[in-house]
Amino acid sequence: MTKEQLDNYHRNSEADRWARPGMSVTFRAEIMPSRDRAERTFRVVKLLPSKRVLLEGVAGEHTESEFEPVR
């Protein structure tokens, strides 16, 4: 096996998720203009199999590209 194949074999798909229930995510300023960072920050309720998230207090499903990069 090559190094890349071994890395993929040992990679934990649970750990590779961009968001987890309970964590806070912040919408990009372009998505919610004229709002402070605190007003654009919401808590993840559920990560869907499609890698979209459901948020507390916001309707609909949202993708990773709608949010600021996780620090």
Total of domains in the chain: 1
Asked if residue 13 has pLDDT above 70, the reply is no
Instruction: Say if 63 falls within a structural domain.
Output: yes
Number of Cβ within a 10 Å radius of residue 6: 10
What pLDDT, in 10s, does the model give residues 37-69? 999 999 999 999 999 999 999 999 999 999 999
Supply the DSSP symbol for 15: T
DSSP secondary structure, 18-70, as one string: S--TT-EEEB-TTTSTT--GGGGEEEEEEE-TTS-EEETTEEEEE-GGGBPPP
> Domain of 68?
19-71
The model's pTM = 0.76
**Tokens standing for residue 41:** 């920050």
Please state, for a pLDDT cut of 90, what percent of the chain lies above it: 70
Burial classification of residue 64, based on how many CB atoms lie within 10 Å of its CB (0-12 exposed, 13-18 middle, 19 or more buried): middle
